[in-house]
Amino acid sequence: MNILEITALLGLVSVAAGFLGALTGLGGGVVITPAMVLLLGIDLHYAMGAALISVIATSSGAAAAYVREGFSNIRIGMFLEIATTVGAVCGAYAAAKISPSILGVLFGIVLLHAAWISARPHPAPRPGETGDPLASHLRLNGSFPTPDGPRDYRVSHVKTGFSLMFVAGAVSGLLGIGSGALKVVAMDRFMRIPFKVSTTTSNFMIGVTAAASAGVYLNRGYIDPGLTMPVVLGMLGGSVLGARILPGAHTMTLRRVFAVVVFVLAVEMIYSAVTGRL
């Protein structure tokens, strides 16, 4: 393929990745990075560098709409970003010292986890479950809009969620993704935050997490403007479209479609890493 064809293909794939990432809160990096490596044969480190910059665009495009509509909880996002940014810098420094084959296997495992999380239904509230006193002290509890009016929610297990955010940040820096899967897990499964609040707050956070580690990738020369430009534009367009559709979307169907796509990419990524194709 010539440069024009590669640029067009990157743009189209990036639109789809940004759209799915915005709808699920998992970040488009889990789609665009393996697509660049497996479909176009781009070096994994350069693909991760482009994905990190595109994740910043995804977050910027979707977060503004989510904040305006009242879904994102900014206090939760800013509090948890303390852990994710520290983890992201640590992961980015470690990435340069690990071989592409090992990174490929790790990436595949994270993709499988993202697919599993996406396919699972949101758990019902536990009877008698109460909020965390620390959440009340930090004023993390909030509400989000529903067709029947604002719905209040209480945040649980703040310390556990904060610890998991450091892990999510480290994975983001190590693999060049927004690690939205782990962020959604921490907020949705452990902190008991409603799904739409978890996904929108995750989108709000992933840009800051990616920015923390993108500087390390830039310093090491892994960010190529020719690759990054079409990916950023495509991801930004897809994320804005996803943000507009999310409030009325049948989320579970979209999550299952996302899970199937990510599962296929995960299997191919692990196979390529094990057979030495990365």
Residues 112-139 have a mean pLDDT of 70
Q: How confident is the model at residue 27 (pLDDT cuts 50, 70, 90)?
A: low
* Run of H or E including 216: helix 195-219
Q: How confident is the model at residue 124 (pLDDT cuts 50, 70, 90)?
A: low
Report the pLDDT value the prediction gives residue 162, as an integer from 0 to 100. Answer: 93
Nearest-angstrom CA–CA distance, 61 and 131? 31
Nearest-angstrom CA–CA distance, 94 and 170? 9
Tokens for 39, please give them.
């479909």
- pLDDT at residue 39 tops 90: no
Report the pLDDT value the prediction gives residue 121, as an integer from 0 to 100. Answer: 64
Predicted confidence (pLDDT) per residue in 150-206, tens digit: 889 999 999 999 998 998 888 878 777 766 767 877 888 788 888 778 878 887 888
Nearest-angstrom CA–CA distance, 183 and 191? 10
Q: Which of 3-12, 112-121, 184-193 has the lowest mean pLDDT?
A: 112-121
Q: How confident is the model at residue 119 (pLDDT cuts 50, 70, 90)?
A: confident
One-letter-per-residue 3-state SS of 25-68: CCCCHHHHHHHHHHHHCCCHHHHHHHHHHHHHHHHHHHHHHHHH
CB atoms within 10 A of CB 226: 12
Report the pLDDT value the prediction gives residue 217, as an integer from 0 to 100. Answer: 84
The residue with greater pLDDT, 10 or 24, is 10
Nearest-angstrom CA–CA distance, 201 and 190? 15
Contacts of residue 40, defined as CB under 8 A and 6 or more positions apart, other chains included, come to 6, 9, 10
- pLDDT at residue 127 tops 50: no
Q: Which of 116, 261, 113, 255 is nearest to 179 (CA)?
A: 113
Task: Supply the mean pLDDT for the chain.
Answer: 81
Report the pLDDT value the prediction gives residue 123, as an integer from 0 to 100. Answer: 56
Report the pLDDT value the prediction gives residue 205, as an integer from 0 to 100. Answer: 85
- pLDDT at residue 221 tops 80: yes
The DSSP letter of residue 191 is: S
Model-level pTM? 0.71
Nearest-angstrom CA–CA distance, 73 and 51? 25
- pLDDT at residue 77 tops 80: yes
Q: What DSSP line would sit under 111-172, residue for residue?
A: HHHHHHHHHSPPPPPPTT----HHHHHTT--EEE--TTS-EEE----HHHHHHHHHHHHHHH
Report the pLDDT value the prediction gives residue 128, as an integer from 0 to 100. Answer: 43
Residues 37-53 have a mean pLDDT of 86
Residues 82-102 have a mean pLDDT of 85
